[in-house]
């Protein structure tokens, strides 16, 4: 069997790029509940990935973004479907509803 020539040790062993606290903060920002063991695992994973992508910083380049070549595509703002034609199929997907409304958790709590 031929072994793959990839050497990942350089990236995989460095796991100090991001702290446990930072991972917890990221998870909060991204609204992802993680267990303590997941936090530790993701800390190592994200550190090794960041260490890998870090290599672009050795290149000097003027920071000007470049996206698609097509710009400002306009169209007429017209109604393309009959009113309410999607209401039932979209509402039927909602986890919680009341009548023709999607039900959400209270947004403001009493102490706010």
Which positions touch another protein (CB under 8 A)? 1-2, 4-8, 11-12, 18, 22-23, 26-34, 38, 42, 45-46, 48-50, 52-57, 59, 61-70, 73, 75, 86, 89-90, 92-96, 102, 104-107, 109
26/40 with CB nearer another protein = 26
**Phi (first) and psi of residue 33, to 5 degrees:** -80, 125
**Residues constituting the chain:** 112
Place of tokens 């017209």: 78
DSSP-assigned letter for residue 97: E
Output the six-digit token pair for 12: 């995989």
Provide, rounded to whole angstroms, the least separation between the CB of residue 98 and another protein.
13
Provide, rounded to whole angstroms, the least separation between the CB of residue 79 and another protein.
13
Provide, rounded to whole angstroms, the least separation between the CB of residue 6 and another protein.
4
Based on the number of CB atoms within 10 Å of its own CB, is 90 exposed (0-12), middle (13-18) or buried (19 or more)?
A: exposed
65/98 with CB nearer another protein = 65
């Amino acid at each position: 069997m031929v072994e793959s020539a990839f050497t990942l040790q350089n990236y995989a062993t460095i796991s100090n790029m991001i702290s446990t606290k930072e991972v917890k903060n990221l998870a909060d920002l991204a609204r992802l509940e993680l267990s303590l063991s997941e936090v530790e695992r993701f800390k190592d994973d994200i550190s090794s990935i960041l260490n890998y992508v870090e290599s672009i910083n050795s290149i000097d380049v003027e920071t000007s973004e470049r996206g698609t070549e097509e710009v400002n595509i306009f169209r007429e703002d017209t109604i393309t479907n009959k009113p309410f034609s999607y209401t039932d199929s979209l509402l039927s997907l909602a986890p919680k509803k009341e009548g023709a409304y999607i039900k959400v958790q209270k947004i403001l709590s009493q102490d706010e």
